[in-house]
Structure 1
């Protein structure tokens, strides 16, 4: 009796496995593997979310004079070889009706990041416990809603408080997005495609920022409202297809081809546990690799913040090279995204071919992607008013920084699959905090006069931060699965 029962159990389990490998009749209608569809939709959501994030920020800071006057002669002079284009005023004077001083405009800008800080950690917890699909869906839905009502709120008495509430609401939605996507990548990305998929998805963020500037330029002579409606509509469309085509895990997707199922099952993540599980907070917070990752993330985020300030403030205000930069505005950022994908592909190729370990690749990329830009920033200080070479070094720094996604961004996936949302939310909280404080720190502490000497000190300080944070990651960092990742469902 027991033998027959055991035989029936084995046959039923075998039948279950065979049924899992059956190909759905509708899978033939999909030209691309399901994981690539997930990757495409996720990258478009990140791109459009960045556009939504910067839409109001661009309007608040671009339609008005900076309000800051240079109080020093320690700047570059305008030479006959540099044709400085005067700042254009929009033909539509309604864009200039909002009487916001510089402090208020920066408050509107930074309030977004304070909102992200509130939901970052809770978003990571919910993503790990209940899956990332619906976290992302809610983020997309409410982001579109806040962006749709933003024009009406702005016109409602021009209340700065209401505008800040909209920005904080958008921050709430944005704070959960990265953790939700990383929780899904842990389930959808094979081991040998992690760096590539992570780079494709999160590398699109920079393009989203630039699209907001392009839309601003396109509508500056008419009205700014279509910017909000356009990005909100795109977000709703993306949210619809996301909810329709993306599934919480490959096992739940009925449209996968047999070849893709077999490919994903070649090296499955046996430690992955879906559903509720007790979070080992103490072990995570005491983990040396997590601390090393946090140090690296702090360094790269601060360097990226200073780099953006260099483009928007140092080049036009100190070097007087606004036209030189705007003529090549798009090229470095497209190159950045292409290189980010290329770096991710190369990292996966080395790991897949067993030419290097995962830990070695993450640390090599961290070394090159941080020491290289730091060296470029030092060269910028030596070149002073040589606009052409400064442009060359800033572009080189941007290209090397594209290794960020294949090093510290994907490293959370290396350490854990069950708690990748939490680790991502911890590093994300560090990132959002730096973004929230950077404006006040840089403007009021480092560059009070916008002089060459002050900016040189800031760039040297940034170099030290990058070298220090990267060194700590090289000492503490790792890319092996941590012991606290292995849990039983509902049990620590």
Structure 2
């Protein structure tokens, strides 16, 4: 444990300079939940913006590819009928881009995120996350607002589209680290998993919304979807800037009851302002390295799960249109399950039924070994759509524990550097996203055969379990010694 002189006086209480405002009584919702709600909506809409252009440029193009070999399932009458149905609007398919070019457009977003993830995490931990989020939202909204004009101006030249995607990646990537840095100040120790799941779990919901909006606009034009998400983002950005404060101590509308609750279990290690970052101790920490290994396995598994929905089911199982099928239902239930798992994790920790480390490891054990086994069962079921759907649903339901284990762990290890940890693990995740989808399409699913996909599912099982085993061996839910630092003196 650190000595008392290592703990900054700024971290003694979240609300040490608190004075209750006469307007506090008008806020029915606690201030920490206002922060959570706005952060969740921003993450949700930002994720919708991320996938908008990908859907328009790529989705219909891929869905039209139908391969019939001896090692795939036979076409059904429903599938053949659906193959003749085309939307009136072909979106960006009017441009003569090859499939590899369309993949390049999709992946350029990931390369943009890699440029700003870590700088965004450092700035969030050193300067505070509120204004980083505000700038991210405003720049992302502006880029998405002018994206149709830039694409039209380019007249099909890929460089213009890639420029838009890279800019969106640059502005989007700082969100995760900035919000995590704010969670270190706003989330009570016994609400960390719930608040983290509430905010970051909205990503999966935000990934599905563009598909619904695209379907609604597909017989008109593709541009309204950009304008819609940009306007919503601007509204959320203004609301965020007006209602969210960098810390509880700076919030004048905090009620006395919420102040007392936040001060029940204060994080005494928190240091506000500029502080020296122990890079060497952080990067060589066993707990941090275990978290990184787990992130690699989890990121690869998530990409394979998405490819299973978009490629394996329609092109190998010949399952028909995804929009009208039950395959999508678990994706909308995922968010609710993530919040529920977060609540359960906090309940166990608060009641001291399990330690933080034990709770995180139990969730990682279940949320990785369970889905990995489901992937193996999928490979055995071959063309049986119903049982494949059951195993896929179970896999997704278990994977919803991800936010209460992996995402929350950065707060457990080092609240002073949670933004930096989130930025590094996020960089690994998006690097996997950018590489794995291309590798899967180029080396594992060239023929879209059952045998190729079976090999991919078994490989994914091995990668996911390996990452989980490393975390189970060296991972931790305890605050690390290198988290205790002093505020830098100018």
Question: What is the TM-score normalised by the length of structure 1?
Answer: 0.94
Once the 2 structures are TM-superposed, how far is the Cα of residue 93 of structure 1 from its aligned partner?
5.5
- CA distance in 2 between partners of 1:278 and 1:258 (Å): 34
Unaligned runs of 5+ in 1: 1-15
Deviations 1:427-465 (A, max 9, x none): 001001011112211011111111100000000000001
Matches within 5 A, 1:134-173: 134-156=131-153, 157-173=155-171
- CA distance in 1 between partners of 2:322 and 2:14 (Å): 62
Contact 2:18 2:249 in 1 (8 A): no
Contact 1:340 1:406 in 2 (8 A): yes
Partner SS, residue 44 of structure 1: helix
Q: 2:414 aligns with which of 413, 416, 422?
A: 416
Q: Which moved more, 1:117-126 or 1:21-30?
A: 21-30
Alpha-carbon distance change, 292 to 164 in structure 1, aligned in 2, over 3 angstroms = same
2:48 match: 51
Q: Does 1:389 align with 2:365?
A: no
Alpha-carbon distance change, 387 to 93 in structure 1, aligned in 2, over 3 angstroms = closer
2:176 match: 178
2:273 match: 275
Alpha-carbon distance change, 208 to 93 in structure 1, aligned in 2, over 3 angstroms = closer
Q: 2:431 aligns with which of 410, 433, 437?
A: 433
1:443 match: 441
Q: 2:26 aligns with which of 19, 29, 32?
A: 29
Once the 2 structures are TM-superposed, how far is the Cα of residue 17 of structure 1 from its aligned partner?
12
Alpha-carbon distance change, 83 to 397 in structure 1, aligned in 2, over 3 angstroms = farther
- CA distance in 2 between partners of 1:375 and 1:151 (Å): 43
Unaligned runs of 5+ in 2: 1-12
Contact 2:196 2:403 in 1 (8 A): yes
Once the 2 structures are TM-superposed, how far is the Cα of residue 225 of structure 1 from its aligned partner?
0.6
Between the two proteins, the alignment pairs up a number of residues equal to 477
Partner SS, residue 419 of structure 1: helix
RMSD: 2.0
- CA distance in 1 between partners of 2:266 and 2:90 (Å): 60
Q: Does 1:89 align with 2:86?
A: yes
2:307 match: 309
1:457 match: 455
- CA distance in 1 between partners of 2:462 and 2:92 (Å): 41
Once the 2 structures are TM-superposed, how far is the Cα of residue 333 of structure 1 from its aligned partner?
1.4
Once the 2 structures are TM-superposed, how far is the Cα of residue 331 of structure 1 from its aligned partner?
1.9
Partner SS, residue 239 of structure 1: helix
2:115 match: 118
The structure with the larger Rg is 1
Alpha-carbon distance change, 252 to 330 in structure 1, aligned in 2, over 3 angstroms = same
- CA distance in 2 between partners of 1:137 and 1:383 (Å): 48
- CA distance in 2 between partners of 1:447 and 1:236 (Å): 40
Contact 1:115 1:167 in 2 (8 A): yes
Contact 2:14 2:266 in 1 (8 A): no
- CA distance in 2 between partners of 1:297 and 1:87 (Å): 41
1:368 match: 366
Q: Does 1:203 align with 2:195?
A: no
- CA distance in 2 between partners of 1:40 and 1:19 (Å): 25
Contact 1:359 1:480 in 2 (8 A): yes
Once the 2 structures are TM-superposed, how far is the Cα of residue 79 of structure 1 from its aligned partner?
4.5
Alpha-carbon distance change, 382 to 92 in structure 1, aligned in 2, over 3 angstroms = closer
Deviations 1:155-189 (A, max 9, x none): 11222101101100000011111000000000000
- CA distance in 2 between partners of 1:25 and 1:382 (Å): 65
Once the 2 structures are TM-superposed, how far is the Cα of residue 81 of structure 1 from its aligned partner?
8.5
1:247 match: 245
Q: Does 1:483 align with 2:481?
A: yes
Q: 2:105 aligns with which of 104, 108, 112?
A: 108
